[in-house]
Amino acid sequence: MKGLQRIPDAELEIMMVMWEANSEVNSDYIMERLHKSWAKPTLLNLLNRLYDRGFVDFHKEGKFKIYSTKIRQEDYICSESKSFLKKLHHNSIKSFIAALCESNGITKKELKELENFIKDVK
């Protein structure tokens, strides 16, 4: 799978709401679930950016735009994870886990879960 373009944080929040809905939504639906103090034009501008970059699509129902995602959440997460690992850890899982351990970013319980996951994948 070719890497996807990174989505800026504000736009990613919108995508998360849309992915969670798992259906087509309008801007009012998104505004209600974002819990942001954004003005409606701000949201519409961000939705237009997502549309221009190919992350969302829309169709009109009367005077309203109905939005849908064009990429799956799983595909985006996979792409971002690969990019993160490559950029910051030179594709080294060991380097990534070591960084988490050194920064107390992972608990012993989580390490045990990871160990069990690796055993299950083998």
How confident is the model over 58-103, as pLDDT tens digits? 999 999 999 999 999 999 999 999 999 999 999 998 999 899 899 9
- Specify the pLDDT at position 4: 82
Q: Which of 34, 29, 44, 28 is nearest to 14 (CA)?
A: 34
Tokens of 15: 């995508």
Query: 9-69, what's its fold?
Result: Arc Repressor Mutant, subunit A (1.10.10)
Domains of the chain, residue spans? 9-69, 92-121
Statement: residue 3 has pLDDT above 80: no
pTM for the whole structure: 0.81
- As a whole number of angstroms, the distance between CA 69 and CA 25 comes to 10
